[in-house]
Amino acid sequence: MTDANIIEIFCILDEFCKYFAPELKKHTLDICGKRRRNRPCLMSDSEVMTILVLFHILRHRDLKSFYLGYVCNHMRKEFPHRLSYNRFVERQAKVGLHLLLFLQTCALGKCTGISIIDSTPLKSCNIKRAHSHRTMKGWA
């Protein structure tokens, strides 16, 4: 992944955030009586989204080792105002809606007919007790 590719991804995400953030603010409900901080974060929403996109493009196994090992050590000049990992995870939850809408509206390609499905089994209960559980009735 070259610097030009990272900058291109960041610019696309930043343009989307500049349009989407005011629209989202107009349509969200405000909780009365709750005080909120209006201080901006060191890392912008588009930077957090860029790191999340890079995590999936570069195919790392877990976010923690990618962020602490790769982003914090090897991408210092691309992301000069890095957050701690815990704060990054908090910010990740806040930009999740932005990233979801970006992927749905701007980055969703045409379906080729080939789909990959994760076949990880979901264990809900012991198979001997499957008949007594109601949550998975009809499945187990």
Write down the pLDDT at residue 78.
Answer: 85
Give per-10-residue mean pLDDT for the chain (140 aa): 82 87 76 69 85 87 88 86 87 85 77 68 66 61
pLDDT tens digits for 75-92? 888 888 888 888 888 888
Q: Residue 99: what pLDDT?
A: 86
Q: What is the pLDDT of residue 119?
A: 62
Q: pLDDT at position 136, please? A: 56
Q: Residue 95 burial (CB < 10 Å; 0-12/13-18/19+)? A: buried
